[in-house]
A and B are shown apart, each in its own frame.
Chain A
Amino acid sequence: MSTAVIEAHGLSKSFGSTRALAGVDLGISPGESVAIMGASGSGKTTLLHVLAGITKPHAGRVMFTPPAGGSIEVSALGETARSRLRRESFGFVFQQGLLMPELTAVENVALAAMITGVPRAEATQRAAGWLAALGLQGMEDRRIGELSGGQAQRVAIARAQVTGASVVFADEPTGALDSGTSSEVMDALLWSTTGQGRTLVVVTHDPQVAARCSRTVAVRDGRVLGSSVAA
């Protein structure tokens, strides 16, 4: 087995008196798709936030190994360095898309690349390429309000990929979609990540979404109960 792209040891995190994570150990290999499943309040979103460097754990550490090699201790980085790591190495897809309503589809995607320093023309070209690959050709200049929920999620997937992120974190990416659209979005998400040799970490409470991933990690009361590999 190759070196883990994300490795977590003894993660603990509390919000006031509520313990969200209670000693989580987890390793994620490159090219894997991992579903983190659990009931509401089980700590799955907190785990995703800690793994992605959005928040720091109170105890434990998170290591990230980029494709170029050289491990980075994410949990030891300051806010600015973690922000930089997120925009350059990670991609994110949220339940509601959370795209900028003022921008067009292609601008929403290109903006993510521009923020990492890619010139606008090149960022736009890359963005258009990803939109086309995700079946949104001809919709580049549409505003987000003019897209359906599934189309908006595919724009969000393109945004997560345009920087060449090696790991994509998705928080309930199909939570606001019907089952048909949900399946299409998962197709797009898996094709654009593991299909390209990248890693996908999905937080979900939907067994159908989890079943599409190569491994499911069950979380309850801030602890990993176990993981099961897809047949």
Chain B
Amino acid sequence: MNAATLRLLLRPAPGSTGVVVIPAVAFAVVSALVLTVVGGAQAFWSWTDQEALIYQVLAAVALVLLVLPLAALGGAAARLSARRRDERLSTLRLLGVTGFGVGVVAVVESTLVAVVGVLGGVLLAFGLAPLVGLIPFRGEPLGSAVLLAPWMMAAIAAGTVLLATISAVIGLRRVVISPLGVRTRSTPPTPHWVRAVIAIAAVAAGFAAGWVVPGIGGAIAVITGLVAIFGVGLLVLNLIGPWVLKIGARMQLRRAKTPARLLAARIVLDDAKGTWRQVSGVAMSSFMAVFAGTGVALMNVMSSSDPSAQDLALLTDMRTGLIITLVASFLMVGCSVAVTQASDIIDQRDLHRSLHYLGVPGGTVDAARRRAVMSPLLITALGSALCAAVLIFPLLGIALITAPLSLVTIAAVLTAGIALVWMATRLTRPLLMRAFAG
């Protein structure tokens, strides 16, 4: 395929504005969040005193935590972009273009949409920088230190575009572009119960470590142990998550008495792994909320007998950092849900129009797709919090007695996150209703 043909094929089709705008906005949000979070984190790298290392390590942990929801959002945006304009892609196949050639068109298109979105994200990050600069660390606002150097901005922007390209390639593996149309592969892989066995073994090991580590003594041993347990926890969540969602959906399917409940359970069962990808960011966040919330609460108690000004500042800053990380991850999950739902609505617009013809109330389908997100989300958020609670049970027990406020913080963060995702599901309702109206 030559460049002129490619240019012709990439020209926006009439009426495809939403199809391009949604992933572009998603990429703008992704890149703005990454630039803002990295900008905030890099402010700590300019510090050279004794305590700087702690801040730098914690900032690095926060960044690592944001990678998963970021990848989920980037992947959702890329898949949405790559799966659009299906008629055009299937027409290409009809004209004799190979599957590879059509893939190239889809991937290039996704990349271009990502470039536009990322440029918007850079502008958004510039707009957010003065606000982020107001966040206090060590008793002072971060100020202009949150602004990244131009080369770092360029690197992050390029990285986000690269993520979009890679996600588009991976996303295309899940769709079949044939001369008769573009469709999702009908049999997504089913999570196996062996995952649960491995996960239970990992939780048992982590639980044992949770009892042993505090007794070893030494701050470094405790931190190393906690980081290892944290890693085990994340591994367990990812192993067991899709399987648990599948079991939960099966139970709901058996009990379903209304069309919305039946449909919601089937949507989850249809792609438990995909559903998990959508909500896994919340799993990480709620896991971290229990884990880090307990940690901060305990440190607060431990240092309360004779706290130095530095200790107090560190604790306050850790709490601030925790909240920022949680807010960022929930924002990404919210965006990811909105983008994935928009993608599904656009994918199934013919079906939705036909349901309208059949007289199916739009509210029934809307309730089903919201339930298909919120039910796994609640299972995930509460399950992850429980998983973290089991892993650090001894420490959580101490925190419960000595600093009950930490529990309130955890509950508030979880509630806020769930509410945010619920709002994200409402965002796409007008799109669904438009699809219904035809």
Residues of A whose CB lies within 8 Å of any CB of B are 49, 52, 54, 82-88, 90, 92, 94, 96, 98, 100-103, 107, 111-112, 114-115, 119-120, 143, 145-146, 159
Q: Which residues of B contact A49 (CB under 8 A)?
A: 357
| A54 vs B355: C-alpha distance when bound (angstroms) | 11
Chain B 93-110 interface mask (CB, 8 Å, partner A; 1/0): 000000000000000000
Cβ 8 A contact of A146, one of B186, B266, B357, B360: B186
Q: Which residues of A contact B364 (CB under 8 A)?
A: 115
Cβ 8 A contact of B358, one of A92, A120, A145: A92
Q: Which residues of A contact B361 (CB under 8 A)?
A: 83, 115
Chain A nearest CB from B187 CB (Å) reads: 7
Question: Could you say which of B234-242, B256-264, B335-343 contacts chain A?
Answer: B256-264
Interface residues of B in 256-277 (CB under 8 A from A): 256-259, 262-263, 266-267, 269-270
Given A54-B357, A120-B257: A145 and B186 within 8 A (CB)?
yes
23 example contacts (A-B, Cβ-Cβ < 8 A) are as follows A54-B356, A83-B360, A84-B359, A85-B359, A87-B360, A90-B359, A92-B357, A94-B354, A96-B350, A98-B350, A98-B354, A101-B351, A102-B263, A103-B266, A111-B263, A112-B358, A114-B259, A115-B360, A115-B364, A119-B257, A120-B257, A120-B262, A145-B187
Chain B at the A interface: SS class = helix
Residues of B whose CB lies within 8 Å of any CB of A are 184, 186-187, 256-259, 262-263, 266-267, 269-270, 350-351, 354, 356-361, 364
| A101 vs B188: C-alpha distance when bound (angstroms) | 12
Instruction: Flag if A103 contacts B263 (CB, 8 Å).
Output: yes
Instruction: Flag if B357 contacts A101 (CB, 8 Å).
Output: no
| A45 vs B356: C-alpha distance when bound (angstroms) | 16
Q: Which residues of B contact A88 (CB under 8 A)?
A: 359
Cβ 8 A contact of A107, one of B186, B262, B360: B262
Instruction: Across the interface, name the chain B residue whose C-beta is closest to A146.
Output: B186
Instruction: Flag if A100 contacts B263 (CB, 8 Å).
Output: yes
Q: Which residues of B contact A143 (CB under 8 A)?
A: 186
Pick the most buried of A83, A92, A102, A145: most chain B CB atoms within 10 A of its CB: A102
Q: Which residues of A contact B360 (CB under 8 A)?
A: 83, 87, 115
| A54 vs B360: C-alpha distance when bound (angstroms) | 12
Chain A nearest CB from B432 CB (Å) reads: 14
Chain B nearest CB from A171 CB (Å) reads: 9
